[in-house]
Amino acid sequence: MIAGMTDGATLLCGKSVAENVYAECTAAIADLNQKRGRPPGLAFVLVGENPASQVYVGRKQKVSERLGISGQIIRLAADVSEAKLLECIDGLNQDAQIDGILVQQPLPAQIDATRIVRAVDPAKDVDGFHPANLGALAAGLATGFRACTPLGIMRLLDSAAIPLRGRQATVVGRSLIVGRPISYMLINAGATVTVCNSATDLQLLNQACRAADILVVAAGRPALIGADMVKPSAAVVDVGINRDSAGKLCGDVDFEAVRSRVAHITPVPGGVGPMTVAMLMANTVAAAGRAAKS
Ligand code: NAD
């Protein structure tokens, strides 16, 4: 259910849509418990003491516990070697009790994050970051795992029955975890997609944003999108997580200025963030379901 109207736009409320995803997960987990005699197993690999990473992993583990997923946090020291981390991932790849593996990023400088992403068994890559999974998405295949944040955005758009086929979508940001995968998902859904990045000419960025029926912003730049950069009928999805000058959490969109000018908008917090966690749980349940069949 969509959480109601704001001043102008309808709020796309990730919190309530996430609860629908959790209800589906709970039913699937009960089914898996019956078939396999054990819940899905999810391993979180946490390297070092990064406070934000600790909060993110703690939050994800709490949700997994609530759903009855067996969540296990593996803590490694900040100065752990790449070889040791690869060994840990290999162990989890071989472990039949583990259905999903999440290596929390960012990783310390001595570790090549690309090597780590590639070391995770694609069948346990519930973050959807492995090139095999991103490649399957880009190829338009239904196989593999999709990155959680873009998958959550698609679910949020679907929950509000926002049409995608034949619509103009603009994505601001081209990262491997948000910008690129959401672009492929929108392409696969039949949208006409423009992808912008930090090198995009400002005038072109303005034009592309104003033309968008669906505007997804994942740049990590507070107030990048103002009221003069949106189409009145647009659905605006704000992925950014920033702190404003007063230390308050904010997205990449000037929410107060934009909310009265568009048709749909996600709040920060409470929009995309809860969907990311929910889709991680959905991917873990899917991984366990596939493992049960193989
Ligand atoms: P990133 O730094 O890897 O990528 C940012 C992208 O934005 C780059 O492609 C860059 O070229 C582009 N960009 C930067 N400034 C721009 C500008 N002025 N104009 C156009 N493009 C610009 O970041 P990321 O990992 O994709 O994350 C983006 C934001 O989303 C961050 O604030 C991050 O914290 C947040 N995030 C939120 C969630 C969630 O669950 N809500 C999940 C992942 C990331």
Give the model confidence (pLDDT) of 84-137 as tens digits. Answer: 999 999 999 999 999 999 999 999 999 999 999 999 999 999 999 999 999 999
- Residue 7's pLDDT is what? 62
Question: Among residues 60, 213, 231, 254, which one is catalytic?
Answer: 60
Which of 27, 35, 9 is CA-nearest to residue 256? 9
- Residue 6's pLDDT is what? 52
Low-confidence residues in the chain, pLDDT < 70: 1-7
**Active-site annotation holds for 104:** yes
Residue among 102, 174, 175 whose CB has most ligand 1 atoms within 8 A, to mutate: 175
- Residue 3's pLDDT is what? 45
CA distance 290 to 87: 25
Q: Are strands 100-103 and 264-265 parallel, antiparallel or unpaired?
A: unpaired
CA distance 27 to 87: 34
Give the model confidence (pLDDT) of 122-131 as tens digits. Answer: 999 999 999 9
Q: Quick check: CB of 200 below 6 Å from ligand 1? A: yes
- Residue 2's pLDDT is what? 42
Q: Quick check: CB of 50 below 6 Å from ligand 1? A: no
C-alpha distance from residue 207 to each of 202, 203, 251, 261, 262 (Å): 9, 6, 21, 16, 16
Q: Are 12 and 269 a contacting pair, CB within 8 Å?
A: no
- Residue 226's pLDDT is what? 98
Half-sphere exposure of residue 175, counting CA atoms within 13 Å on the CB side?
Answer: 14
Return left, alpha or beta for 140; rule: phi > 0 is left, psi -120 to 50 is alpha, else beta. Answer: left
**Active-site annotation holds for 127:** yes
Question: Among residues 99, 124, 125, 127, which one is catalytic?
Answer: 127
CA distance 74 to 245: 35
Q: What is the Cα gyration radius of the chain?
A: 19
